[in-house]
Structure 1
Amino acid sequence: MLVNADFMRRAIVDAARYRWVASPQPGVERVMLERLAGEHGRATSIVRYAPGAFYPAHGHPGGEEILVLSGVFSEGEQHYPEGWYLRNPPGSSHAPASAGGAIIFVKLARMSPAGQGQVRIDTRQASAWRREQGREICPLFCDAAEQFSLQRLASHEVLFDGAIAAAEVLVISGSLGCEGELHFRGSWLRLPEGEYPGIAAGAHGATVYLRAGK
């Protein structure tokens, strides 16, 4: 299955136009943002767990990245409320579940096999944030190819100050304007190389997940 598989083209999935589809596991639904292969291939999704839903224990040869958007997401006896960022390296395994229901942002099978350890960050903690060039940033992960972070934008603040190699953006709160349309919480944008001076926070600002780099 291919969904938004041409990385040379801009892709936008607005939260108001989500299309939920059933997963192979009862009680788990997904919005497919991008997908390059079958069930275990490279994919980016919004995943919704109904209360009590779970997946049996399974491995992730290509790694997995998770941002908890609402509810509580669990891995065994470890429970992660809204705001937690999880990075499970290639070769890891888990048995994900949610007793009360949860919505998570998930990226699968796109990590390089070397130099990747487990990451757990509670982005609700003030200590996870720092100020860089006038903007509040919560670093999540960084390697030679990509940088992952949460960023807080002031009212009408432009997201990018120049040309970018490529980027992926998820609106966590507030709104983000692009080509005259406002995109609210849960909206996803993938941008190829170029300049995007028109992408800016709405009147009340925004918090975004940002993956920068190819």
Structure 2
Amino acid sequence: MADSYRLNMDFSQVACVLAGEQQWVTSPADGVSRIHLEREAAESGHTTSFVRFEPGSSFSAHSHPMGEEIYVLDGVFSDENGDYPAGSYLRNPPGSRHRPYTEQGCTLFVKLDQFQKADTQPVVLRPEEQHWQPGIGNLSVLPLHTYGTESTALVYWPANEVFQPHTHWGGEEIVVLEGRFIDEHGEYPAGSWLRSPHMSQHYPRVEEPTLILVKVGHLDNGTRE
């Protein structure tokens, strides 16, 4: 029966969910709904989702057996350890526990049970603690997390920027936060999610200012230590 819940779990394949094609699904917690992007089982295992908390909603206290990674898309997310406004990046390592809630409402991008075994460092980066750096060409890059081959960052593209053709060792996962990301395979407006497999290639560009959340090096078909 668990197989009926599986979604986009073949990491050798491209996966894409465009804005406007998404359907919010209610969760076991009142006022909390989700768009499933990757899912191994109904309420456990490897999961990637957009999660929306209505104002005043909360989720019961729970642990993260294999870790939780969060980027706050809008609103203010909170737990017993503090408040995290839009643009905050969190890593709750394996074995951590919290009780999340929100007063004004929020939307999150969440990845569950996807930590490397030895990656146990908690991370809390609010917007005021983040620092942009120059990237290739006219890009700007804001590093969020790096461990082994895996790296997560925000990347800002000015209007009409064209990036060099490149290959994704370990794959690439993108959430389009603002603007519209484009490559030879399609166009991805804000709110879209795109996953490209190990050793895939593309030639990306934009026509308008665009901000993306990018994770690379984490889809190498089980070859990581």
1:104 alignment partner in structure 2: 108
**Distance in 2 separating the partners of 1:3 and 1:143:** 26
Please, which runs of 5 or more residues in structure 1 have no aligned partner? none
Task: Write out per-residue CA displacement over residues 53-80 of structure 1, whole angstroms, 9 at most, x where no aligned residue.
Answer: 1111110011000000011100125111
Bigger strand fraction = 1
How many residues align? The count is 211
Task: Write out per-residue CA displacement over residues 8-65 of structure 1, whole angstroms, 9 at most, x where no aligned residue.
Answer: 1111101111111111111100000111223121100000001111111110011000
State the shift of 1:195 in Å.
Answer: 1.1
Query: TM-score, with normalisation over the residues of structure 1?
Result: 0.92
**Distance in 1 separating the partners of 2:130 and 2:93:** 24
Cα pair 2:179 2:190 within 8 Å, conserved: yes
Are 2:69 and 1:65 aligned?
yes
Query: TM-score, with normalisation over the residues of structure 2?
Result: 0.88
Match of 1:128 among 131, 135, 146: 131
**Distance in 2 separating the partners of 1:170 and 1:121:** 18
Is the alpha carbon distance of 1:58 and 1:160 closer, same or farther for their aligned partners in structure 2, counting shifts above 3 Å? farther
Task: Write out per-residue CA displacement over residues 86-114 of structure 1, whole angstroms, 9 at most, x where no aligned residue.
Answer: 11111101101111111000000010232
Percent of matched pairs sharing the same residue: 37
What RMSD in Å do the two structures reach over aligned CA positions? Answer: 1.6
Q: List aligned pairs for 1:16-55, cutoff 5 A.
A: 16-55=20-59
State the shift of 1:143 in Å.
Answer: 1.1
1:8 alignment partner in structure 2: 12
Is the alpha carbon distance of 1:211 and 1:67 closer, same or farther for their aligned partners in structure 2, counting shifts above 3 Å? same
Secondary structure at 1:195's aligned position in 2? strand
Task: Write out per-residue CA displacement over residues 163-193 of structure 1, whole angstroms, 9 at most, x where no aligned residue.
Answer: 1121000001111124464322211000012
Please, which runs of 5 or more residues in structure 2 have no aligned partner? 220-225
Match of 2:188 among 155, 179, 183: 183
